[in-house]
Amino acid sequence: MIRTFIFALTMFVVCAQASATESLPVIKNAYAYETAASQKTGAVFLEIRNTGAEPLWLEGVTAEIAETTQLHTNDMTDGIMKMREVDAYEIPAGGRLTLAPTGHHIMLMNLKATLMRNTLFPLILHFKDRAPIPVEVTVRALSTSTGKTP
């Protein structure tokens, strides 16, 4: 009798923990800059908030609009800014990660279509141990940028 009760209690705790870590990443402000017709690459920036109690890992991205996508970061090496591919981005528990032109960015390679300003295109974010999350990326005009794109 007591044993059953303890088992039930344990199950309750386990379930409560599982649902606590199920909190979804919150994605905000996903955007890319428009591309020229001849341009084969583009970059996507966005903000990810982790409302959960566990770290989140963004492990990859799929986008219909590009043949390949990679997670990139910018490193300063010998005074030169260079892009480098990374396996994943960590978003700490209760923290946020901002992808921006000067740092981390999602690289779209071999674009199948030109990114036209004021349009949207879909992207799917793949987090470790989470269901994929679709987002809509807004294409911004280049003139509104700082003039710096990766």
Q: What is the DSSP string of 107-139?
A: EEEEESS---TT-EEEEEEEETTS--EEEEEEE
Closest CA to 50 of 113, 125, 118: 125
Nearest position to Cu ion, beta carbon: 72
Question: Rounded to the nearest whole angstrom, what is the least distance from the CB of residue 60 to Cu ion in the complex?
Answer: 14
Query: Is residue 72 at the binding interface for Cu ion, with CB under 5 A as the rule?
Result: yes
Interface with Cu ion (CB under 5 A), residue total 4
Distance of alpha carbon 3 from the chain centroid: 45
User: Distance between terminal CA atoms of the chain?
Assistant: 64
Compute the distance between CA of residue 33 and CA of residue 48 in angstroms, rounded to an integer.
19
Among residues 83 and 141, whose Cβ is nearest to Cu ion? 83
Note whether 83 binds Cu ion by CB under 5 A: yes
Tell me which stretch binds Cu ion (CB under 5 A): 11-19, 68-76, 111-119, 137-145.
68-76
| 13 near Cu ion (CB under 5 A) | no
- How many whole angstroms from its chain centre is CA 95? 14
CB of 42 to Cu ion, least distance (A): 9
Residue 104 binds Cu ion (CB under 5 A): no
> How far is it, in rounded angstroms, from Cα 118 to Cα 135?
16
**Closest to Cu ion by CB, 72 or 130:** 72
The answer to the question of residue 86 lying near Cu ion (CB under 5 A) is no
Binding piece for Cu ion, criterion CB under 5 A, among 55-63, 110-118, 133-141, 142-150? 142-150
User: Contact positions toward Cu ion, by CB under 5 A?
Assistant: 72, 83, 107, 150
